[in-house]
A and B are shown apart, each in its own frame.
Chain A
Amino acid sequence: MKPVNIRVGVVPVGEVPEIAPKVIASHFLGYLNLSADILPRLEHPEYAFDKRRCQYNAALIIKAFESEHFDSYDKVIGVFDVDLFVPLFTHVFGEARLGGKYAIISLFRLEKNLERAAKVALHEFGHLCHLEHCRDIKCLMHFSKGLEELDNTPLYFCKYCSAYLESAFSRVRT
Chain B
Amino acid sequence: MDQKMSVMIVDDEMIVRESLFYWFEKAGHVTDTASSGSEALEKLEKFPFDILFVDMKMPGMNGIELLEKVKEEYPDTTVIIITAYGSVETAIEAMKMGASDYLLKPFKPDQLSLVMEKIIQHKKLASEYRYLKGQLEEVTRFDNIIGQSPEMRNIFRLITEVAESDASILILGETGTGKELVAKAIHAKSYRNHFPFIAINCGALPDSLLESELFGYQKGAFTGASHSRKGFLEVVSGGTLFLDEIGDISPKMQVDLLRVLEEKQIIRVGETRPVDVEFRLISATRRDLDKEMREGTFREDFFYRINVITIHLPPLRKRKEDIPLLIQHFLDKYSHETTRHVDHVTRDAMEHLKSYDWPGNVRELENAVERAVVLSKSRTLKTEDFSFLRPVSDPLLKQPRSLRDMEKEYVCHILSEYDWNITKSSEILNISRATLHRMIRRYNLQRTK
- List residues of A whose CB falls within 8 A of some B CB: 53, 59, 85-92, 95-98, 127, 132-133, 135, 143, 145-146
Contact = CB atoms under 8 A, between A and B. Distances in A.
B106 A132 contact: no
B20 to A, nearest CB: 6
Contacts of B20: 88
A97 B19 CA distance: 10
Given A88-B107, A90-B106, A90-B107, 6 more contacts: A53-B106, A59-B18, A89-B106, A89-B112, A132-B26, A132-B28
Given A88-B82, A90-B107, A145-B110, A132 B19 contact: no
Contacts of B18: 59
B15 A89 contact: no
Nearest to B18: A59
B28 A133 contact: yes
B285 to A, nearest CB: 61
11 contacts: A86-B19, A88-B19, A89-B19, A90-B106, A90-B109, A91-B108, A97-B22, A127-B26, A132-B27, A143-B1, A145-B110
A98 B13 contact: no
A92 B105 CA distance: 14
Contacts of A91: 108-109
Given A98-B26, A132-B28, A143-B27, A87 B109 contact: no
Contacts of A132: 25-28
B424 to A, nearest CB: 62
Interface in B206-238: none
B113 interface: yes
A15 to B, nearest CB: 25
A90 B82 contact: no
Interface string B74-87: 00000000100000
A135 B23 CA distance: 15
B253 interface: no
B22 A98 contact: yes
Contacts of B109: 89-92, 145
B212 to A, nearest CB: 67
A132 B22 CA distance: 11
A87 B15 contact: yes
B85 to A, nearest CB: 12
B6 to A, nearest CB: 15
Contacts of A87: 13, 15-16, 19, 106
Contacts of B112: 89
A88 B113 contact: no
- 10 A-B pairs with least C-beta separation: A145-B110, A132-B28, A86-B19, A90-B106, A87-B16, A133-B27, A87-B15, A135-B2, A90-B108, A87-B19
B106 A85 contact: yes
B22 A145 contact: no
B19 A98 contact: no
A49 to B, nearest CB: 15
Nearest to A127: B26
Nearest to A145: B110
Contacts of A89: 19, 23, 106-109, 112
Given A88-B107, A89-B106, A59 B26 contact: no
Contacts of A143: 1, 27, 113
A74 to B, nearest CB: 19
Contacts of A85: 106
Contacts of A59: 15, 18-19
A138 B25 CA distance: 21
Contacts of A97: 22
Nearest to A141: B26
Contacts of B22: 86, 95, 97-98
B113 to A, nearest CB: 6
Nearest to A126: B26
Interface string B1-32: 11000000000010110111011011110000
